[in-house]
Structure formats: C-alpha cells, structure tokens
Structure 1
Amino acid sequence: MTPTKKVNTDALQAAVDARQQQRDAQKNNNNKPSESKQEDGEDEAQDAEEEEEERPVATLSSCVDLDAIEDDELYYVGTAGVKVTHLDALEKLVGLQRLHVRSNLLRSMASVATLTRLEHLELYDNQIEAIEGLQSLVQLKVLDLSFNEIRVIPDLSHLTQLEELYVANNKLKKISGVQSLKNLKKLDLGANRLRTIEGLDGLSQLEQLWLGKNKITAIQGLEKLTKLKIISVQSNRVVTIKGLENNVALEELYLSHNAIEKIENVDDLTNLTTIDLAGNRISAIPTGLAPLTLLEDFWLNDNQVAHFADVEHLVPLGGLRTLYLERNPIAQDFEYRKRVEELLPELDQIDATPTTKARRGRILNFKQVQLLCSNLQVS
C-alpha cells in the first residue's frame, strides 16, 4: 500500500537552512546594544512562543508529496520538526476523505473548500481564527477544530451529515451556528468563555454534550434533547441541579467543581450509571436516590458530608460499585473505610482503593486460574 504521506526531504532541508540563516541574523542583531532592559520575570508563555518560532515552517506541499498520495487519508502532525503554515495544493486531493493536520501553525482553513468528498476534518491545535471553506463539504461527518483561536461558530446548517463537532479550547463567548445540525450526536465546547447554554433546541439526536471549563451558571435549554446520554458541565459556576428533568435518557452526569450545595432533581433520571459531584459544597446525601437502581459510580469527594447516616441513604442502590468520599469530614473518622464497607457491602471500590470484598475476589480468581493451569498441565 502506498504510504499516506511521503516527506519531501529536499524541501525540508531547504526550510531548515533558511530558518538557520534567520536565526544567525537574529543572533547578530541581539549582540547590538539594547536601548532598554527586558523586564524581570518574563512570562513563560512568551518563552514558549519564541521557542516555537525557532522551528522551521513550511507549506503542506513542501512537507508532503501530495502527488504520491493514493489513499483517502492524509495525516500530518507538527509536534516535532517542521510546522505547516499553509494548506496549499489541496486541489490535487479531490478524493480525500480524511484530513488531519494537528499541532501546526495554520491561521486559515479556507483552502479545504476543494475537498468536497471530505468526511473527517481535524485541524486540532493550530492558530485558526475563523471557521471557513466548509460550504461545499456536505459529506462532512466529523469536524475537530479544538485548540485554536476561534471566536464565533458561523451557520453550519449546510453540514447536514455532521455527527461530531469539537470546538473546545477556543475563545467562544456564545453558542451559535449549530441549531440546525439535526444529525449531530456529539458536541464539545469545553474550555471556552460561555456563560449560558443556548441555541441547542434543534439538536434532536444529540447524545453527548461537553461544556466543562466555561463560566456557565445554570443548566438550561436542554428540554428537547431527549436522547442525551452524557452531559458534562464540570468546572463552571453552577449552583443548583435543575433543568435536566426531561433528559431521562441520561447515563452519565458530570457536575464536579461547581458551587452546588444540594443533590436534587435527579430521582427521575433512572438510567444514570455515573454521577460526578466532586468538588462542590454538598453537606448531605438525600433519601430520594432509591430510583437510581442502575447507578454504579458515585463521586462525592471534596465536599462537606460529615455523617454516616448520609451513607445509609445509599443502601437501596444495590448496583453501586464505586463510591468516592475522600476529603469530606466523614473521611477523617479512624474507621471510615470499615464503616462504609459495613453499610455498603456490595462496593468494589472506596475512593481509589479496592474494598476487602473486591480484594478477596481477586485472590480467589487468581487461585482458580492457578488451579486450572495445574489441571491442564497434568492432563
């Protein structure tokens, strides 16, 4: 099979030589007397940028022999070596279905417009400021533009086949442009500057919504997302659990590191298998969790639970296997683990440590395997 990409070594060497000449010229300039001293405590981010600038840069066609590509996929990562600054000559790759250009220095993605058969586009970790060039990419199913400099998502209604959209770690202040993506199943807008959840009503097929590390204060606008299975609003400013009453298909709920004081409004979410409420201000475990019979993992570490009577409220949850309560006042009790195991004997793990039952089970399984191996050797 023809390799996905073939490196043009002559072009690379030329780029390296050119960059070396620039460095030499810069060094000569640095030897001249400076008019002012550099301030003490220079920001480490600036040092990283300067180091980045020292690396050789080039266009995509100078790093990859585009004429030699016969497969439907092109993958170029710039974490080491030459950084690509421009996506040029893509008109040669009209049959391309998957394009990955990660960790480079791209500022524009407009040239992807010629790749009309593209199904998977990943331009993760670049310097792209605007989403463009997608008007003719109607077959696109996956679009990953995480770790860029994007401030606005334009109208993407023409991407009718899009199933996964990742625009995490950008500079978005508002959710826009996605309202008409009827086939979207996964949306990741984590680590932006969002303050409200909005513009998602039309995402009737959405199954996963990732909104961690924003500035969101309330869960809202999700009433029509009845197929939602996973939602993450970790590391935000949420103060109450509400707005999920209609999301009865939810299986995983991640609300760690917020300002929540009370566990409420989850008793109707009977498909939940995981609840993460670590790092909040919760002081009590309510009695109304009995309907959550499928719950397996419950993370309540780094809260304010102080009484073992609260742990008793978890007894009806027969499927519970993992419970995190470390760094709560209750965990300071000398017999903390013993008492939790007595109350919830079906647990396999308390905090990061297996329970006595789980350890015994592993020993028993090991002995059974040993016995089986011995019998096989004898026979």
Structure 2
Amino acid sequence: MAEESSSEVESSSAGRDGEEGDPSATVLDLTSCQLHDLDSVELPANLTELDLTANRLSSLDPRIGHLSHLKKLSFRQNLITDDAVLPLSSWNALSDLEELVLRDNQLRKIPDMKIFKSLLVFDVSFNEINSLHGVSAVSNTLKELYVSKNEVPKIEEIDHFIHLQILELGSNKLRVMENLQNLTNLQELWLGRNRIKVVNLCGLKSIKKLSLQSNRLTSMAGFEGCVALEELYLSHNGIAKMEGLSSLVNLRVLDVSSNKLTSVDDIQNLTKLEDLWLNDNQIESLEGIAGAVAGSKEKLTTLYLENNPCAKTPNYTATLREIFPNIQQIDSEMFS
C-alpha cells in the first residue's frame, strides 16, 4: 500500500543545513526517542520539518504552534486523542503546513483542519475514526489522503478534492463506491479489506493504481473505462470470470489470485503485462495459457499459478518457461 513521504526525513536531531544541535537546523527527527513530552527538546524557530514518530506523546507542545516555517509535521504512532489534538485548530502560524501525519494514534474523528490552507498530505490512518465527517473542511489543495484502518462506513465529504492524486481507504467498513466523480486527477485508489460488492468508479478514467483486494466482488464489470490503469489488485474476492479487461491496454500488474477462476480470459491484447497473479484459483489446465496471454508473452516476467489444479501438470515449470521466454519468476521460483 502507499506510504506517506513523512517517514523520509533526515537523520535524528540534525538539519540539512547544520550539525546536531545547530540552531540553523531546519529538520528535526525525533523518531523512537521514547519521549513523553518535549520539555527537554529545543525547537528551533526556523524548523521546516518536525518528525515525532514512535514516541509516547499524549499532548501537543504549544511551542510547535509558533513554528511558522513548518511544512511537515508528524505525530505518527503516539497516544494523541481527540482532545489532545484540539490546539491544532488554533495554531494559525502553521497555516502554510503542507504535510500533517496523525497516523496510528487514538483519534475517533477527523480533527479540525480548516486553518491549513496549503495542505498537500493528510494521514489519519490506523486510528478509530468512525466517519469522514469533517474532512470537508480540509483544504482543496490536498493531493494525498490516507484514512486506512479505521471504522469508516461511507465515502463522503470529498467532492472538493479536485487535486487529489492518492486516496487510501483500505481496511474500513465501506460497502459502496460512491462520491468519487469529482476526483478527476485521482491516480491511486486503495479500497482493500472493505465490504464492497460492486465496482463503481463514478466515471473516473485517470486512475493508474487500483486495489479492491479482500472485498465481496463477484464480477469484474466496471473497469472497462479505466484505460490508464497500470496496476489492478483484486485478490481474495469471489470472482468467477475474467472480463472487462481487454481495454486496459496499459496494465502492467494484474492480481486476481484467491478467487474462483476456472480459466484465463480477456487479457490477450494486454501487451504491457509484466506481473500476472493467478494463484489459488480453480484453473484446470495449462492448455490455452499461451493464447490467453499472447499479447504479453515476451513481456511477462512474473507468473503465479500455484495452488491451481494446473500446477500439478507434469513438467509444469518447464512448460511455462517455454511459453514465456523472458520469465524471471514462476510462483516462488526465481530464474536468472
């Protein structure tokens, strides 16, 4: 799944422009320092990035509210509650913040974000949030929104995110794909581990990466118009037939493992396909595989077919290597 860029900050307590303890430092990384508060920490006024990941913070130090140059702020993996995060809404000096990470805390609702006018990345994954109520106040400048591993039952209040490129709502309680039609710049949509039965992309055509793993799909209908798709993940559903794929000519990765497939269909025209995951289905025979994957026979480098009846075929690996001359991996076996 997509990871936020906040973890890619500089080394502990050092800035790009100075050594440890240097007041000219602009990046302060205090990851995994077991801090319960910041009383012993100096916060230089010109900080642009502050990373407090993996500590024991249960409140926000008010000095952070005066760091007017701050662009990136991470409280990932702490003990922040709804009450503890309240001061954020009045820290007007941080109005130019571009990245805010509250991932893996104890939030039950979306915090008040309306003071942040330039926000690009907002991450509240791995909390206990039970609704997207409040996300409508998040700036329409947003490009990445992460709300995975919460208790959200409905996609709502996202209509204004016209610049959004990544939406992560995996591991929630979603039953319906809806209210996506305004997200015309969306490139990645992650909806794995929900309760979705029907694909509805609301007319979006620019998506490049789409995950609906571990849902309740029984059909592949609904992807036909997504001609920009490069990666499609549909494992662990109840899909019985491969269909609606022939128009996805840019597809490089297709994962339909752990479904109810009995044959390989509708991908013969996919000339860019590199990774094909078909394991844990009910595909009986290797006959027809060559024709089914004809368009990408030279391009395919990874193929998973294990835990299908056809994987018990004599000379299984040798047969597949003959069909796909440039294959580098069959199931867990690698080839040089």
When residues 165 and 310 of structure 1 are mapped into structure 2, their CA distance, relative to the original with a 3 A threshold, is: same
The answer to whether the 8 A contact 1:174-1:195 is kept is: yes
The answer to whether the 8 A contact 1:146-1:168 is kept is: yes
Answering whether residue 174 of structure 2 is matched by residue 194 of structure 1, we say: yes
Partner of 1:300: 278
What secondary structure, in the 3-state scheme, does the structure 2 residue paired with 1:103 have? Answer: coil
Larger Rg, first or second structure (1 or 2): 1
Deviation at 1:132, TM superposition (A): 2.1
Which of 77, 80, 87 is the matching residue for 2:53? 77
CA distance in 2, matches of 1:138, 1:6: 24
Answering whether residue 185 of structure 2 is matched by residue 210 of structure 1, we say: no
Code of the residue aligned with 2:79 in structure 1: it is L
CA distance in 1, matches of 2:166, 2:220: 22
What secondary structure, in the 3-state scheme, does the structure 1 residue paired with 2:58 have? Answer: strand
Partner of 1:107: 81
What secondary structure, in the 3-state scheme, does the structure 2 residue paired with 1:209 have? Answer: strand
Deviation at 1:244, TM superposition (A): 1.2
What secondary structure, in the 3-state scheme, does the structure 1 residue paired with 2:293 have? Answer: coil
CA distance in 2, matches of 1:6, 1:158: 26
More helix per residue: 1
Identity of aligned residues (%): 36
Answering whether residue 288 of structure 2 is matched by residue 310 of structure 1, we say: yes
When residues 175 and 263 of structure 1 are mapped into structure 2, their CA distance, relative to the original with a 3 A threshold, is: same
Structure 2 unmatched ranges of 5 or more: 1-17
Answering whether residue 139 of structure 2 is matched by residue 139 of structure 1, we say: no
CA RMSD of aligned residues (A): 2.0
Partner of 2:42: 65
Partner of 1:98: 72
What secondary structure, in the 3-state scheme, does the structure 2 residue paired with 1:289 have? Answer: coil
The answer to whether the 8 A contact 1:272-1:295 is kept is: yes
Answering whether residue 247 of structure 2 is matched by residue 265 of structure 1, we say: no
Deviation at 1:272, TM superposition (A): 0.5
The superposition leaves residues 60-88 of structure 1 with CA deviations (integer Å, 9 ceiling, x where unpaired) of x436333x353211111235xxx111113
Map of 1:37-186 to 2, 5 A cutoff?
58-59=36-37, 61-62=38-39, 64-66=41-43, 68-79=44-55, 83-89=56-62, 90-108=64-82, 109-113=85-89, 114=91, 115-153=94-132, 154-156=134-136, 159-186=139-166
The answer to whether the 8 A contact 1:171-1:193 is kept is: yes
Code of the residue aligned with 1:272 in structure 2: it is L
What secondary structure, in the 3-state scheme, does the structure 1 residue paired with 2:288 have? Answer: helix
Code of the residue aligned with 1:95 in structure 2: it is H
When residues 342 and 295 of structure 1 are mapped into structure 2, their CA distance, relative to the original with a 3 A threshold, is: same
The superposition leaves residues 206-225 of structure 1 with CA deviations (integer Å, 9 ceiling, x where unpaired) of 000000111111111x1421
How many pairs are equivalent?
302
CA distance in 1, matches of 2:86, 2:314: 62
CA distance in 2, matches of 1:201, 1:150: 24
The superposition leaves residues 234-281 of structure 1 with CA deviations (integer Å, 9 ceiling, x where unpaired) of 111111101111111111100011111110010011110110001111
Code of the residue aligned with 1:349 in structure 2: it is Q
Query: Structure 1 stretch 69-78 or stretch 202-211: which is displaced more?
Result: 69-78
Query: Structure 1 stretch 323-332 or stretch 84-93: which is displaced more?
Result: 84-93
Deviation at 1:57, TM superposition (A): 7.5
CA distance in 1, matches of 2:77, 2:29: 19
CA distance in 1, matches of 2:28, 2:40: 9
The superposition leaves residues 16-48 of structure 1 with CA deviations (integer Å, 9 ceiling, x where unpaired) of xxxxxxxxxxxxxxxxxxxxxxxxxxxxxxxxx
What secondary structure, in the 3-state scheme, does the structure 2 residue paired with 1:121 have? Answer: strand
The answer to whether the 8 A contact 1:234-1:257 is kept is: yes
When residues 352 and 251 of structure 1 are mapped into structure 2, their CA distance, relative to the original with a 3 A threshold, is: same
CA distance in 2, matches of 1:240, 1:229: 20
CA distance in 1, matches of 2:199, 2:309: 28
The answer to whether the 8 A contact 2:110-2:135 is kept is: no
When residues 132 and 351 of structure 1 are mapped into structure 2, their CA distance, relative to the original with a 3 A threshold, is: same
Code of the residue aligned with 1:235 in structure 2: it is S
Code of the residue aligned with 2:107 in structure 1: it is I
Deviation at 1:93, TM superposition (A): 1.7
The answer to whether the 8 A contact 2:29-2:52 is kept is: no
The answer to whether the 8 A contact 1:232-1:253 is kept is: yes
CA distance in 1, matches of 2:183, 2:114: 20
The answer to whether the 8 A contact 1:57-1:85 is kept is: no
When residues 235 and 329 of structure 1 are mapped into structure 2, their CA distance, relative to the original with a 3 A threshold, is: same
When residues 167 and 210 of structure 1 are mapped into structure 2, their CA distance, relative to the original with a 3 A threshold, is: same
What secondary structure, in the 3-state scheme, does the structure 2 residue paired with 1:84 have? Answer: coil
Partner of 2:332: 352
TM-score by length of 1: 0.75
What secondary structure, in the 3-state scheme, does the structure 1 residue paired with 2:303 have? Answer: strand
The answer to whether the 8 A contact 1:111-1:133 is kept is: no
Structure 1 unmatched ranges of 5 or more: 13-55, 360-379
Code of the residue aligned with 1:75 in structure 2: it is D
CA distance in 2, matches of 1:294, 1:170: 35
Deviation at 1:322, TM superposition (A): 1.3
Partner of 1:251: 230
